[in-house]
């Protein structure tokens, strides 16, 4: 499995956790997970642009 795929999966999980916490009324926890989702998304883009075959 490529590292960028793992990073994308982590970003999706953090985004869903952020949405769940937001609906549960926990704004600062949702914000932290939203920030983490953004960081994972940027890391995914950087890994994808590197172009290395990191299977």
Number of independent structural domains in the chain: 1
Percent of the chain with pLDDT over 90: 51
Mean pLDDT within 7-31: 92
Residue 36 structural domain: 3-50
**Is residue 7 in some structural domain?**
yes
Confidence of residue 52 (pLDDT cuts 50, 70, 90): low
**Is residue 13 in some structural domain?**
yes
**Is residue 42 in some structural domain?**
yes
pTM for the full predicted model: 0.77
**Is residue 55 in some structural domain?**
no
Tell me, rounded to whole angstroms, the distance of Cα 31 from its chain centroid. Answer: 13
Confidence of residue 48 (pLDDT cuts 50, 70, 90): confident
CA atoms within a 13 Å half-sphere pointing along the CA-CB vector of 8: 9
**Is residue 21 in some structural domain?**
yes
């Amino acid at each position: 499995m490529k590292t960028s795929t793992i990073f994308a999966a982590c970003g999706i999980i953090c985004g869903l956790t952020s949405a769940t916490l937001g609906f549960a009324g926990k704004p600062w926890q949702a914000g932290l997970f939203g920030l983490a989702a953004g960081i994972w998304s940027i890391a995914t883009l950087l890994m994808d642009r590197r172009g290395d075959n990191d299977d």
